[in-house]
Structure 1
């Protein structure tokens, strides 16, 4: 997925619903839009995966199962209770984050 495809997907998501889901899923406990807290800034994640055709799937897996070592020593806990639709919504929202 190129940058244009990522932007097109971002245009297809409900940004308000995604932000509310992120808030309710405690994403903001460790992440912020443009600054590192415990985990990376959403904008940094978007930048890292820009142009990656598998970005949505990669982020869905990281959100669902958690990850360790991608952004330093802190581990991200998994969010296995989220539906596939919600996982894709969050992944698309993260990828749409601008610095």
Structure 2
């Protein structure tokens, strides 16, 4: 008797976990694809500012995040520390290209020697525009 109740309970749980009998797996996949496409469209590089596009295509995301410290500081923290001036933009662009150590802790920032000065300036300009 206990075995029968256990088996019936397992079968009931299996049937209940199958979900809505009117939905299909294909419909769920299509809905998920549409949601993903919408998310991707909302974040397309064509809607980003030039510096933001460059950051999105570079390796910056490995160490930085817009709002939270990862390995390096968050972009908003950088913007809070440095006023947006031509002097700071040039200085920070040089830091992006040459790398640095000690400004935000003991871990060094990796140099990006293949990045042009103009691209680095666009990236820094976007970062400094995040000042609250």
Return the TM-score normalized by structure 2.
0.59
Matches within 5 A, 1:10-29: 15-29=48-62
Rg larger in 1 or in 2?
2
Tell whether 2:63 aligns with 1:30: yes
1:63 to partner: Cα distance: 0.2
- Structure number having the greater helix percentage: 2
Matches within 5 A, 1:9-88: 15-50=48-83, 54-88=87-121
How many residues align? The count is 86
What's the Cα RMSD here?
1.9
Q: Which runs of 5+ in 2 are unaligned?
A: 1-46
Contact 2:79-2:129 at 8 Å conserved across structures: yes
Q: Which runs of 5+ in 1 are unaligned?
A: 1-13
Misfit runs of 4+, over 3 Å: none
